[in-house]
Amino acid sequence: MFETAEVGNKMNKADYEKALPALREALLSAQRALAVSKSAVVLLVGGVEGAGKAEAVSRLLEWMDARGIETHVMGDPTDEERERPPMWRFWRTLPAKGHMGIYIGTWYTEPIVDRVFGGIGEGRFNLLMDRNVAFEYMLAKEGVLVIKVWLHLKEDALRKRLKKLASDPTKRWRVNERDWKYLKKYERFRSVSERALRRTGTGKAPWFIVEATDQRYRDLTVGRHVAAAIEGRLAEEAAAPPVKLVPDRPKPHRINIIRNLDLAQQLPVDAYEHRLAKGMAHINVLTRKLYDKQRSLILVFEGPDAAGKGGSIRRLTAAMDARNYQHIAISAPTDEERAHPYLWRFWRPLPRRGRVTIYDRSWYGRVLVERIEGFCSREEWERAYAEINAFEEELTEFGTIVVKFWLAISPQEQLRRFKDRQLTPYKQYKITQEDWRNRAKWEAYEAAAVDMVDRTSCENAPWVLVEAEDKNWARIKVMETVIHHLKNALG
């Protein structure tokens, strides 16, 4: 694979300077068009250590308008980053539409290094590569152009470059022990990297390998590829037909998992208060234990309007140290959130180890409200099931405990609660015209919820269906379920 980048490509100074003005004009023109488009650009700059990744990026920044570009040097993870899944630091820095993000150090770097030094086996390595393919496919579908550049040097050329830098007092700081350590493993790096590139070069995100021996050739070739890739993407965007957003209103089966719930379940006040006090004590102890075990907890609450999500959450948080949890009420996305891939706003607030994040509505909005109201295309909500499963798999694999609750009530009970909210001054803020409009689509939401549970409930991130007609019963079931999962996970 790398043989074509070992043929001795060079460029003299005169040809370089002659070609540069046209290239700079093309890059700036592409960047101006990108700024008013529906696309974002992610440029991954990978390759051999010492091949000049930082220099190539610096040259691009000289030629383009740096105001529309964010550069991220992804070295060793910080303490904050180590306390979250590995992809968190990439998700939180993704560029918005109209912008470009450049990454020196990519989501390929750590798996390749780990494989070279035996930190992971071949099966794990292949799994991580396949995840990268799925991630990049999702980015492409969400309007992100992924440009992947690999800078290559032959072993003798790399050794020569490192020695030259090390002998120059003004440049020797650029060479460290890691560079020499990696040089000793050159053939192993070459083999593992070749497998990574073969497995992950796709039509949506192909690899572009650049011979990096000659700096002028390297920089000009990278610049030309970036300009051509952005121009091509913008041409595709201009030619694409408008996406039709059509509401989907499924009909529920007469017998389903939600209708099978026994909503007559009740809990007397005395029993409720006893179990509540006992449960709160357990929650307090167990959530403090999260830090000792270096685990985190995510609770997801979904259900019809007025199903009691807020009340159940308040009983849980009343038992927790306020410094250790975050309660996030999800509403319509902001302009900033709409300018990023759908899951971006849910990745950002993931809890650090030892902490809890509670989502009052969540990423499941895509397969519920967005599906039913026509806020996204059918293709978007259909692929969301797999994307959500992949997201939750990354969370639980990292050690995050994920529990998801669907609070179920009857249409009659919802109507009673709506009327109560209208008549009670301190509850009136809870009822809106949108709640009444959603009520008219009760059956569609029920059918969508059944699909959601069917396609996204798994052993590591299960859906728990809660009979919520009686608030006491629902609150205790939620609390005792959280306790059960914490005990199982923490020992």
* Pair 177, 51 in one domain: yes
CATH number of the domain where residue 361 is located: 3.40.50.300
* Pair 418, 280 in one domain: yes
* Pair 23, 155 in one domain: yes
* Residue 21: partners with Cβ closer than 8 Å, 6 or more residues away: none
Tens digits of residue pLDDT in 259-280: 999 999 999 999 999 999 999 9
Give the range among 56-65, 430-439, 445-454, 479-488 with minimum mean pLDDT: 430-439
Quick check: is 197 in a domain? yes
* Residue 238: partners with Cβ closer than 8 Å, 6 or more residues away: none
Read off the tokens for 205. Answer: 């995100």
Tens digits of residue pLDDT in 117-128: 999 999 999 999
Last residue of a domain, one of 221, 239, 257: 239
How high is the pLDDT of residue 213?
95
Quick check: is 261 in a domain? no
331: left (phi over 0), alpha (psi -120 to 50) or beta: beta
Quick check: is 111 in a domain? yes
Residue found under tokens 């899944």: 85
- Give dist(CA 90, CA 84) in Å, integer: 11
- In DSSP terms, 45 is beta-bridged to 104, 149
Mean pLDDT calculated for residue range 51-80: 95
Read off the tokens for 201. Answer: 């070069």
* Pair 366, 231 in one domain: no
* Pair 389, 448 in one domain: yes
209: left (phi over 0), alpha (psi -120 to 50) or beta: beta
Quick check: is 118 in a domain? yes
Tens digits of residue pLDDT in 341-376: 999 999 999 999 999 999 999 999 999 999 999 999
* Pair 181, 306 in one domain: no
Quick check: is 254 in a domain? no
Residue 422 exposure: Cα atoms within 13 Å on the Cβ side: 10
Total domains present in the chain: 2
Using alpha carbons, list the distances in angstroms from residue 39 to 66, 99, 238, 340: 17, 8, 11, 10
Quick check: is 259 in a domain? no
Quick check: is 89 in a domain? yes
Last residue of a domain, one of 224, 239, 254: 239
Tens digits of residue pLDDT in 154-183: 999 999 999 988 998 888 888 888 899 999
Quick check: is 247 in a domain? no
- In DSSP terms, 401 is beta-bridged to 297
* Pair 23, 150 in one domain: yes
Residue found under tokens 């029920």: 446
* Pair 224, 300 in one domain: no
How high is the pLDDT of residue 432?
83
Give the domain extent around 414: 269-490
* Pair 341, 212 in one domain: no
* Pair 192, 288 in one domain: no
* Pair 177, 291 in one domain: no
Dihedral sign computed on CA atoms, order 129, 130, 132, 136: positive
CA nearest to 196, candidates 121, 269, 111, 89: 111
* Pair 275, 226 in one domain: no
